[in-house]
A = this chain, B = another copy of it.
């Protein structure tokens, strides 16, 4: 628990920051605040974290509902199963830790204690993909979509900014089973002006176009929107779909993109083996039809370290990189 005292004792330089003063940097981590609002209206919502309240801003919730906030210390598996126990007694616990620990370290607890018995626990896996930059592989999560999608009875959503985080939290609060929320690093720029009207299991149409469809998720959406802008200047009109829901999956959205546009490019900061791209591939392959199709993301390798924005550029997840893949696909 964060005891609050002067957060900047002894500091003189305005550029200096510490854990407490860095909280506003994570401006798109609105889940603490949103859940606190939701908890004003219902008494079943709880928030749990594993020594990361200051890292994921769940302390926004803690400050408003200290009695419904629990810090489990650095024990993610215990947190997951404790949440199962709370849920069995009627609570709707939101548990939060880095995606790497949520989805990989707790995969078995999620499957066995949450998904199979259909516990209403919501797992907030933040800092997914390579958004942890120079923290390296132990903190990257380019496997979490594959893992969570393979778990039956688990709903998987992936907000792309603050507004869609709010929308998805509200939209899934009453899901009868558990939910995995794949979140970024808290600095995602706005895609939506206000919380979008989301529809369960549907992609969100971000931009219309007929020459190509880019289906992106998470931080990839930002890049895809930028890429669509670049390509529009070249006369290529791109449909951009935000895969806010990874499970259930928008089969119709894929089929429509196949028939209505000139191809499909998927974009994700996840291994292309088992991620969004694979989900789309399943639909394409079983449709019996064909289209130009490419999975863009992490190509079954471990990312280099570096500042996240530099890494996204390095792996072509920025507008220019995505536009290059789009041109290549259309040219192929």
Complex CA–CA separation, A173 to B286 (angstroms): 36
Q: Is the CB of B288 within 8 A of A285?
A: no
A104 within 8 A of B: yes
A147 to chain B: closest residue by CB: B147
A76 to chain B: closest residue by CB: B108
Which residues of chain B have C-beta atoms less than 8 A from A273's C-beta?
A: 149-150, 247, 279, 282
Given contacts A289-B290, A290-B290, contact A107 B152 (CB under 8 A): no
A111 to chain B: closest residue by CB: B104
Complex CA–CA separation, A71 to B265 (angstroms): 48
25 A-B pairs with C-beta separation under 8 A: A107-B108, A112-B137, A116-B137, A116-B302, A142-B150, A146-B149, A146-B274, A149-B274, A150-B274, A152-B271, A152-B298, A153-B301, A247-B273, A274-B274, A278-B278, A281-B281, A281-B282, A281-B285, A282-B295, A285-B285, A285-B293, A286-B295, A288-B290, A288-B291, A289-B290
Complex CA–CA separation, A112 to B140 (angstroms): 10
Q: Is the CB of A286 within 8 A of B282?
A: no
A198 within 8 A of B: no
Which residues of chain B have C-beta atoms less than 8 A from A284's C-beta?
A: 281, 284-285
Complex CA–CA separation, A185 to B105 (angstroms): 25
Q: Count of chain A residues with Cβ under 8 Å from any Cβ of B?
A: 49
Distance in Å from the Cβ of A272 to the closest Cβ of chain B? Answer: 8
Q: Within the complex, which residue of B107, B112, B116 is in contact with A147, where a contact is CB–CB below 8 Å?
A: B107
Q: Is the CB of A108 within 8 A of B105?
A: yes
Complex CA–CA separation, A111 to B147 (angstroms): 12
A109 to chain B: closest residue by CB: B105
A151 within 8 A of B: yes
Complex CA–CA separation, A37 to B294 (angstroms): 45
Distance in Å from the Cβ of A52 to the closest Cβ of chain B? Answer: 16
Complex CA–CA separation, A291 to B302 (angstroms): 33
Complex CA–CA separation, A215 to B332 (angstroms): 29
Q: Is the CB of B152 within 8 A of A302?
A: yes
Q: Is the CB of A147 within 8 A of B143?
A: yes
Q: Is the CB of B137 within 8 A of A146?
A: no
Q: Within the complex, which residue of B100, B112, B302 is in contact with A138, where a contact is CB–CB below 8 Å?
A: B112
A29 within 8 A of B: no
A280 within 8 A of B: yes
Residues 71-105 of chain A: 1 if any B CB is under 8 Å from the residue's CB, otherwise 0?
Answer: 00000000000000000000000000000110011
A277 within 8 A of B: yes
Within 8 A of B (CB), among A104-141: 104-105, 107-108, 111-112, 116, 137-138
Residues 287-317 of chain A: 1 if any B CB is under 8 Å from the residue's CB, otherwise 0?
Answer: 1111111110010111000000000000000
Complex CA–CA separation, A289 to B285 (angstroms): 9
Complex CA–CA separation, A282 to B284 (angstroms): 9
Distance in Å from the Cβ of A277 to the closest Cβ of chain B? Answer: 7
Complex CA–CA separation, A156 to B27 (angstroms): 40
Residues 143-177 of chain A: 1 if any B CB is under 8 Å from the residue's CB, otherwise 0?
Answer: 10011011111000000000000000000000000
Which residues of chain B have C-beta atoms less than 8 A from A111's C-beta?
A: 104, 137, 143
Which residues of chain B have C-beta atoms less than 8 A from A112's C-beta?
A: 104, 137-138
